């Protein structure tokens, strides 16, 4: 996880060199002292951790949904085989005889 953080930190650092603030508002938005930079870095790190947790939760949810879909498709497939065995007439009626 620290590799990703290092890469993101480097890319943030590089983009700040590429762009220069055009207005006074943008200049004021930039951290002016090391304390502000440390706070911003902690917030970014916390955000990255939250994003990682969300990705893990979404992957888990996706796996569960895939399993549910597979079970549903399997059940649907076995239901159609049962319909074939009972000899459905295609109009909802069955051609199985009832003993009288």
Q: Which of 89, 11, 18 is nearest to 97 (CA)?
A: 89
The Cα 23–Cα 58 span in angstroms is 40
* pLDDT attached to residue 7: 45
Buried b (16+ CB within 10 A) or exposed e, 75-94: eeeeeeeeeeeeeeeeeeee
- Residue spans of the domains in the chain: they are 35-80
pTM: 0.45
Provide mean pLDDT across the span 71-91.
74
> Is pLDDT of 24 > 90?
no
pLDDT digits (tens, 9 = 90+) for 25-66: 656 666 578 899 999 999 999 999 999 999 999 999 999 999
Going by pLDDT thresholds of 50, 70 and 90, the confidence category of residue 16 is very low
């Amino acid at each position: 996880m620290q590799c990703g953080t290092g890469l993101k930190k480097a890319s943030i650092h590089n983009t700040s060199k590429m762009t220069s603030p055009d207005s006074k508002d943008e200049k004021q938005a930039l951290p002016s002292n090391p304390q502000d930079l440390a706070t911003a870095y902690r917030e970014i790190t916390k955000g990255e951790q939250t994003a990682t947790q969300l990705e893990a939760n979404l992957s888990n949810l996706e796996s569960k949904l895939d399993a549910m879909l597979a079970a549903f498709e399997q059940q649907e497939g076995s239901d159609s085989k049962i319909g074939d065995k009972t000899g459905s007439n295609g109009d909802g009626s069955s051609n199985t005889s009832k003993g009288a």
